[in-house]
Structure 1
Amino acid sequence: MKNAKSFGELFVTHVENFTEYWHDGGSRSQKPVGFWQPNIPDNYRALGTVAIPGWGSKNLPHAGVHVVDEHVVAICVRQNPTVPAARPEPSLADPVDYELVWDDKGSGARYKCSLWRPIPPEGYVAMGLAASDDSYDKPPLDAVACVREDLTHRAVASDEPVFTGQGLGTKHDVSVWRNNAPPKYVDSPDSSHVLIAPNTYVAHTSTDQPKHLPEMRVLCLPVPSDKNVRPAQPELEGRTSPAGVTPELLTNAAWLPFEAVKDDERSTEWKLANSPFYRVERRASWTLLKFFNNTTDAAQNVGTTVTTGVEEEEAQAFSVNTGFSYAGTGGFSIGVVTASVTTTLSLDLGFSRSRSTKKLETRADNVSINVPANHAGALWVATNSLQVVRGDGTLVSEPLVFYSFDNFHADQFPDNPEHTNVTTTGGAPTQVGIIKKPGTAGKATAGAGASKRSAKA
């Protein structure tokens, strides 16, 4: 499917078409509720029945009564046969049975409702409840799929219930809650995963918020990402100033479901049709900090002051416009936390988690280059750009652009076998020699890092 994406062992897709199983019309319910079953594409599996606080929605028409002002979507999955499984068991399996959680007998509703907990095979977990279609009988075993436990993570219940059955007149109270992605998730050091809530629900015979129901689960899948070659270090090829910035190259990209991105300029309907997944990109280039054509008979030291790192004001603007937040603690990363998606992207964008920096650190570095007599010299800084891209190639917001810490590069023309220094003072003094090596130009590179802003002579 064109609107599906492979997240490791599972293909993930969005479903917006549903079959109504029950609403509480005719009952004594104080708040409306409706249960809808996803109409799944071929070979895909539903993970649970969807509950909404109404009888219909923008895409679930229902006679104009108790219609929720939203476009309801569910996540469905299928196994990806091209990806080697981490375990011998398949990623998906039917439940072996169902356990009754609640039914509406005595409610007076026009239709029958029963909610069931899928009983998973060993090594698997249920992802949410299953409702019966106007029936008190168990749903078919293939109504929902259970997921291998290592591909999931524990969920948290929504802050408020979707529905409570107080006053219904049924034998037991009931409350229905959405499975949300937890706001805090610590990934393994050498991988990046995304927690995806597939819009499934749990229910129990209490009005209290549940904490540990067995079907309180979300998907935990590897983030699909690409890694490309970083731009080569620039070379000075004459006595005239080179371009201010080298061509920008895409070095890393990661994909996330549209629910991860704050994109208020596009509707859910548009996202489903044009951008069910968004791409987070890292682009890299080199920015010219200083060029000097030394026409004298003596070496000249020239320099500039450059601010490296991510400025808090720009990081906050990026967060407001995209929903992604920047952190420098323990290494560079950007993350997103919503009810539907939780993830942190660092390795996927080419940044190491092991590099220790201070959160939102910026630093003024005094950088200088010693240019030999009758030579030209140039000094560059590595530049990064982070941007969130829709499926049609447009940007959600202005990119977050920053200069890297300790990642400077110098070159001179013509090549000179003599040692020439680039020095920086600021956060951590760095000295870089430009040395003529066999078969190479005279160049220097300082450090390796990840982090722009202003440079002033």
Structure 2
Amino acid sequence: MQTNDSPAARPMEPIKFGNLLINFTTEFYRIWDTKGSRSAPATFWRPTPAPDALPGYFPLGDIAVSGDLNINGKRVTAVVCEGDPQGADSLKGKALSPPDDFEQVWKDSGSGSTVDGAIWRPIPPDGYVALGLVCSNGHAKPSLNAVRCVRSDLVVASSVGDTIWSDRGSGAKQNFSAWSLEPPAAAAGEINFAPGTFVGVNSYTQPATHVAAYSLRMQIPLQIISTPEVPVLTGFGFPPTLDTSRATQIARIPWFAVKDDTLSPVEKLNKSPFYRLERTDEYQLIGYAHNEGAKGRFFKWAVPRGLVRSILQIFTNTTSIKFETEWPIEASDAVRPINFSARLDRNFARTEASAAGWSSPKTAEVVAIAPKSKLLAVYQLQSHYDLLREDGTQAGINLPYTDNDSFYLAEYPPEESEVNASQPTATDTSP
């Protein structure tokens, strides 16, 4: 029954979470199918990462697929490997463990299927959990090396998702239905994702919970390169406009969490396993005033928002990435190669100070006091976001963003003890 006739995706740099290494395979071995049974057709596959490409990697469970098509080169599933322990992980023990045993969940007896088959739940050792079920060709237990269990602090409890297959009408002595996994909403700066395995129960009703319903976790790698130089006034002339147009922070987002209609899921894994969401910060001059009088004076400027809602909507529609909340959350996103929930770091997405910053279309009125005999300049921090593929090509439109929490005030001449001048105040006003 082996049908490994499609080329494998090249191995990507592994995702590291503690001492757990996570990668993906498009190679599978057909374990069992429902041919001869009176139920709807289904096939059960085992991920088989090529030893030369992904040495030391194991499946977390088998794959249940409705229908009888060959999934090699078409489906993508997570596989795992033991990594080197670092820091606290060296005290927690290994990331992976073989199961202690298997518990039979269902067998095809009475179904009339051409070949006998059974489905098993791995029984994990203490401190570890199973992330799916395992199938066998015949009624004998699978090998303990068929899968690996994961240390419980490296995964997250998940919900039971959509039905994949049931043996309804098969005539088997036991009822059985197989279900997908749905990860919970991700915390800021993290991604929760299902490995592609399945869970199952001896009924046709969706279970509220399942002992093997867990998903993998990862932190979104964030690289902080630099921060833009703050403006410094050197005289009473026109305030300088600084050249700070460079990437200051980069978030690396894995292929499955980015929508890219130019590439299929397998092509994304091959050509762009990680996408770079680059944030470029720069200070933009809002206004300035020279108070030549003997008393302090109030000055104010109207500041339009740098965010255009229509541009944000286009960016999200083409990339699926959201800034103010986790993604995906719409029902239309249900069909995807890997079920996941992702959320950007609050500081990177600039939602740490004003949660409504991305949703407010209002302008701001900036009010500041210019002391006597001083030149006052008000700047606003503006960010530009660019999504780039691995080869450097752009995968989404440039997205500008400003909020009403990121103003900088500069004076000339500066106070002797002044390093960072007090912030001006901003009041939202309607456009």
Q: Which of 405, 421, 424 is 1:444 aligned to?
A: 421
**Mapping of residues 429-440 of structure 1, within 5 Å:** 435-437=414-416
**Mapping of residues 304-319 of structure 1, within 5 Å:** 304-308=301-305, 310=307, 312-319=309-316
SS at match of 2:277: strand
Task: Please say if residues 306 and 382 of structure 2, whose CA atoms lie closer than 8 Å, have aligned partners that are also in contact.
Answer: no
Query: Could you tell me how far 1:233 is from its partner in structure 2?
Result: 0.5
Aligned-partner Cα distance in 2 for 1:352–1:397: 21
1:91 paired with 2:95, answer: yes
C-alpha spacing 1:447/1:22, structure 2 compared with 1 (3 Å): farther
State the partner residue of 1:100. Answer: 104
Identity %: 29
Aligned-partner Cα distance in 1 for 2:138–2:107: 9
Query: Could you tell me how far 1:207 is from its partner in structure 2?
Result: 0.7
**Mapping of residues 252-267 of structure 1, within 5 Å:** 252-267=249-264
SS at match of 1:206: coil
State the partner residue of 1:431. Answer: none
Aligned-partner Cα distance in 2 for 1:126–1:294: 70
Once the two structures are superposed, residues 165-211 of structure 1 have per-residue CA deviations (whole angstroms, 9 ceiling, x without a partner) of 111121112111111213x35x4xxx743211110101111111122
Once the two structures are superposed, residues 50-82 of structure 1 have per-residue CA deviations (whole angstroms, 9 ceiling, x without a partner) of 11112224635xxxxxxxxxx201011223215
Aligned residue type for 1:17: E
Q: Which of 19, 31, 34 is 2:29 aligned to?
A: 19
Query: Could you tell me how far 1:18 is from its partner in structure 2?
Result: 1.0
Provide the aligned C-alpha RMSD in A. Answer: 3.4
State the partner residue of 2:202. Answer: 205
State the partner residue of 1:49. Answer: 62
Moved more, 3-12 or 195-204: 3-12
SS at match of 1:137: coil
State how many pairs are aligned: 406
Query: Could you tell me how far 1:135 is from its partner in structure 2?
Result: 2.2
C-alpha spacing 1:317/1:101, structure 2 compared with 1 (3 Å): same
C-alpha spacing 1:214/1:323, structure 2 compared with 1 (3 Å): same
Aligned-partner Cα distance in 2 for 1:169–1:50: 23
**Mapping of residues 351-366 of structure 1, within 5 Å:** 351=350, 353=352, 355=353, 357-358=355-356, 360-366=359-365
State the partner residue of 1:155. Answer: 158
**Mapping of residues 414-433 of structure 1, within 5 Å:** 415-416=412-413
State the partner residue of 2:72. Answer: 59
Query: Could you tell me how far 1:28 is from its partner in structure 2?
Result: 1.8
1:32 paired with 2:41, answer: yes
Query: Could you tell me how far 1:436 is from its partner in structure 2?
Result: 2.6
State the partner residue of 2:323. Answer: 326
Task: Flag structure 1 segments of 5+ consecutive residues without an equivalent.
Answer: 61-70, 328-332, 417-434, 450-455
Aligned residue type for 1:79: E
**Mapping of residues 56-455 of structure 1, within 5 Å:** 56-57=69-70, 59=72, 71-86=74-89, 87-132=91-136, 134-159=137-162, 161-182=163-184, 184-185=185-186, 187=187, 192-236=189-233, 239-240=237-238, 242-243=240-241, 246-290=243-287, 303-308=300-305, 310=307, 312-327=309-324, 335-337=327-329, 340-347=339-346, 349=348, 351=350, 353=352, 355=353, 357-358=355-356, 360-367=359-366, 378-411=377-410, 415-416=412-413, 435-437=414-416, 444=421, 446=423
Task: Flag structure 2 segments of 5+ consecutive residues without an equivalent.
Answer: 1-10
State the partner residue of 2:7. Answer: none
Aligned-partner Cα distance in 2 for 1:155–1:139: 25
C-alpha spacing 1:98/1:334, structure 2 compared with 1 (3 Å): closer
Task: Please say if residues 326 and 341 of structure 2, whose CA atoms lie closer than 8 Å, have aligned partners that are also in contact.
Answer: no
SS at match of 1:404: coil
Query: Could you tell me how far 1:271 is from its partner in structure 2?
Result: 0.4
Query: Could you tell me how far 1:10 is from its partner in structure 2?
Result: 1.8
Query: Could you tell me how far 1:350 is from its partner in structure 2?
Result: 7.0
Moved more, 279-288 or 263-272: 279-288
TM-score of the aligned structures, taking structure 2 as reference length:
0.82
Aligned-partner Cα distance in 2 for 1:77–1:208: 31
SS at match of 1:11: strand
Aligned residue type for 2:148: A
Moved more, 374-383 or 170-179: 374-383
Aligned-partner Cα distance in 2 for 1:52–1:447: 60
